[in-house]
Amino acid sequence: MKKTFRNITGTFDILPEKYRADGTEIASSAAWQAVEAVIREVMARFHAQEIRTPILEPTELIARGVGLLTDIVSKEMFAFERGDTHYVLRPELTAPVMRAYLQHHLDQRGGVQKLYYIGPCFRAERPQKGRYRQFHQFGGEVIGSEDPRADAEVIAMMTAVYRAFGLTEMTLRLNTLGDEGSRPRYREALQAYFRPYAADLSETSRRRLETNPLRILDTKDERERRLLAEAPRLIEYVDEESRAHYETLKGLLGDLGIPFLEDPFLVRGLDYYTRTAFELESPHLGAQSALGGGGRYDLLARELGSKKPVPAVGFAAGIERLFMALAAQGVTMPEAAPPPDVFLVALGDEAARWAFAEAQRLRDEGLRTALDLRGRSMKAQMREANRQGAPFTLIVGKDELERRQAVVKEMASGEQSEVPFEDLIRILRDKIAAGAS
């Protein structure tokens, strides 16, 4: 038997029409385009500008400090080597965007840089509902301001996207992580608290207790969550300035009418986060409830070799999760691309030749034009025009060709008229415009 091929588990094809795969609905390419258009439009309202970075990045950019080919790289990322270079398929875009910002001296454009992106990311996770190996993120970064207004702006950007879709049922969780010194102090306090319970912890949490105890706070384990209730709170270890920053941010969100819930155990896993951390959750997503999240990352630029500190704050959100939330709240998106404006039906070889050339002329004039590519009968061509949903057909046979006229048929009413070739574009345009209004 011949070998057949399937897409890699944890990835999916986006087709002209929606379909179901592994119990999940995959939206049509038209719906993806529509969603991306809304994201772009909302980002433009904030005067955020798009940045596109490569999908391939040097592994060291993502796995700084943890050492190459450690657990994180081999288990959570798609990484490989060619010669002396270590490559990774980007698992996120914050580090790539900051790399580009530093590399191209974007600070020299002046002012605060507001950048947004839309694109695929890759994580070597166990695929499950809402969790893929290739998924898509949109996100925004505000680089060059340490003011809490920048944090509020980022949160406003993120929430505006969901509002633009009419999505309202979601929770914004908010916390402050303090400055560079806060977390080491808190980490020690957490370790001191959990060590006596080490035997009760899951294997993962026991390992994290020594390597990254803050991640224990994300635990879903019931017993560990009970232990958390008595655990020390990050806020007690946060410096004065960060507390003031947090208070101002909460005030600003209040001014914007953006509701939030303070979550003292919300920490973003990565070391370069400072001060603000947030996550947006939907009650409709089941176990993978995070629509998106983000925070302030004032330490990242220095980690990437910048001599100057570069204050920055950003968010990243999953587009697959956005689709799940849209479906759950009954927001409909276009199911397929629009039909052709006109379908050319030709009878006989000569007419078919004329139609083939005429199609190019109509397309050059901006009309969505389709025609038969298989030399089929007139009846089959009419059927195809109907199937594609073309509002108008343009019918040409030998007689019409001789008279240099085409029959324009309005499919809905069946109404037909003869139009001289030289008037075709003008008349079709008028009819299409009238049909659209």
Q: Which residues of the chain form contacts with ligand AMP (CB under 6 A)?
A: 92, 123, 125, 130-132, 135, 137, 290-293, 316-318, 320-321
Least separation in angstroms between residue 230's CB and ligand AMP is: 27
Closer to ligand AMP by Cβ: residue 125 or 303: 125
**Residue 311 or 318 having the CB closest to ligand AMP:** 318
Q: Among residues 125 and 200, whose Cβ is nearest to ligand AMP?
A: 125
Q: Which is nearer to ligand AMP, 119 or 144 (CB)?
A: 119
> Which lies closer to ligand AMP via its Cβ, residue 24 or residue 191?
24
Beta pairing, strands 342-346 & 392-396: parallel
Q: How far is the CB of 239 from ligand AMP (least distance, A)?
A: 25
Choice between 217 and 390, CB closer to ligand AMP: 217
The residue (of 81 and 169) whose beta carbon lies closer to ligand AMP is 169
Give the Cα separation of 434 and 436 in Å (integer).
5
Angle at 108 between CA 105 and CA 111, to 5 degrees: 125
* Residue bearing tokens 């439009």: 41
Residue 409 phi, psi dihedral angles, 5° rounding: -115, 130
- Smallest separation, CB 415 to ligand AMP (Å): 50
Helix or strand run (H / E) with residue 80: strand 79-82
Is the CB of 30 or the CB of 319 nearer to ligand AMP?
Answer: 319
CB-closest chain residue to ligand AMP: 318
**Shortest spacing between CB 8 and ligand AMP, in angstroms:** 13
In this structure, is the dihedral angle defined by the CA atoms of residues 264, 269, 274 and 277, taken in order, positive or negative?
A: negative
Residue 132 CB, nearest approach to ligand AMP (Å): 4
Shortest distance in whole angstroms from residue 293 CB to ligand AMP: 4
DSSP result, 240-286: HHHHHHHHHHHHHHHHHT---EE-TT---SSTT-EEEEEEEE-TTST
User: Which amino acid is it at 295?
Assistant: G
In the complex, least distance from residue 317 CB atom to ligand AMP, rounded to whole angstroms: 5
Task: Tell me the residue length of the chain.
Answer: 437
Beta-carbon count within 10 A of 401 CB: 19
Strand-by-strand arrangement of the 56-58 sheet: 56-58, 85-89, 79-82
CB of 143 to ligand AMP, least distance (A): 17
Residue 173 CA to residue 107 CA, distance in Å, equals: 31
Measure the CA–CA gap between 103 and 116, rounded to whole angstroms.
Answer: 17
